[in-house]
Amino acid sequence: MSYRRLRAVFIKELHHITRDPLSLGMALAVPVMMLVLFGYALSLDVDQIPALIYDQSKTEASRDLVRQFQASRYFDIVGFVNGYAAIERGIDTGKALMGVVIPLDYSRNAGLGGNAPVQILLDGSDSNTASIALGYAEGVTQAYSLELRSRMQNRRAGGSSNSSAATVPAVQAQTRVWYNSSLESKNYVVPGLIAVILQIIAALLTSLTIAREWEMGTMEQILSTPLRPAEMVLGKMFAYFVVGVADSAIAVLVGVFIFQVPLRGSLPLLAFSTCIFLVGALFWGIFISAAARNQLLAYQMGLLSSFLPAFLLSGFIYSIETMPKPIQAITFLVPSRYFVTILKDIFLKGVGVQVVGAELGLLSVYATLVFLFATRKLNQKVA
């Protein structure tokens, strides 16, 4: 392998990139636009759930229960209604996600210390959000039920401290959330989003480079020179690697300073992992470009082979553990799966290479294999 020939290809590609400032500007601006757009729009937080209240009891006890829902940050009481038809209409029109129905005999049952049922009506068209909303509603009612039971026993015992202590549950769970104590979805979404964006941008940047040579008719001239396929692949990759590194730095800065995602891990490890992932993604784009020999086809293949797997099969949004077994097996072939894991571990957990070493090794193997495939494809003779 000749350093001079490799350097010549590298400089040639850099000149091609800088001669088109619009494309270069788009290559640098698109990751920021995608990160800001998806970062703000894609939220997994379920709070401020719009709810309607149908209070048939209209007593102090029922109003006290309503105040429990109003005090919770998870619910937004958007109105009080006088019948089931209004709740159904509110859910159908999207005004509310949930309806709370307090029955007529609620106050009497609660005052007697017996069973005082409350009906929760949910829009189940989004089953995940409905399940979370139901869990929040059950939490509010259970906490209020325990409070009512404590009041009743205190009144019966004349407010003695012994009776109050008797109402304390035998087991109390104390929750401590690690790595994302505020439970904000942006801390989970943004690191994975960086991986998805870099996968898409890297593949699209290089998917046109060799296909363009075929369409312009210069590939035959290049193959007739002493330039080796490996030198061509590496030279083109290094030129776009510079752009990819700039995109990566911008994406990380946006994640840390705009979205306030904590970066608890090692910055050198983050940079090293990103470089390995970028190399593999760029080699994949070059392989597609060499195989397609057509810019439109290469662009379409690059988009389909980068966006869909990275978005759906990397664990960025959908948990891999809940996927069917055949789909889980396919995810092992998606390199962004490993990079998403690395980014979340470095950003949120602050782990070192001893934890993410396996993922780094697999990304290295992937980059090597794709480089060999791209080189072999260019080794084929021109028909």
Domains of the chain: 3-43+184-378 (no CATH), 49-166 (3.40.1710.10)
Q: How far apart are CA 87 and CA 52, in angstroms?
A: 7
CA dihedral 309, 315, 317, 318 (to 10 degrees): 100
Q: pLDDT (tens digit, 0 to 9) for every residue of the chain, 383 residues total?
A: 788 888 888 888 888 888 877 777 877 888 888 888 877 777 667 778 999 999 998 888 889 889 999 998 889 999 999 999 999 999 999 899 999 999 888 888 776 666 778 899 999 887 878 888 898 998 888 888 877 777 767 766 655 544 444 455 566 677 787 887 777 788 888 888 899 888 888 888 888 787 777 777 777 677 677 778 888 889 889 999 998 999 999 999 999 998 889 999 999 999 999 999 999 999 999 999 888 878 888 888 888 888 888 888 998 878 888 889 999 999 999 999 999 999 999 999 999 899 999 999 999 999 999 999 988 887 764 44
Tokens linked to 75: 């619910």
| Alpha carbon separation from 354 to 311, 341, 346, 361 (Å, rounded) | 27, 14, 12, 11
- Residues 6 or more apart whose CB falls under 8 angstroms from that of 36 comprise 254, 258
Closest CA to 205 of 236, 233, 249, 235: 236
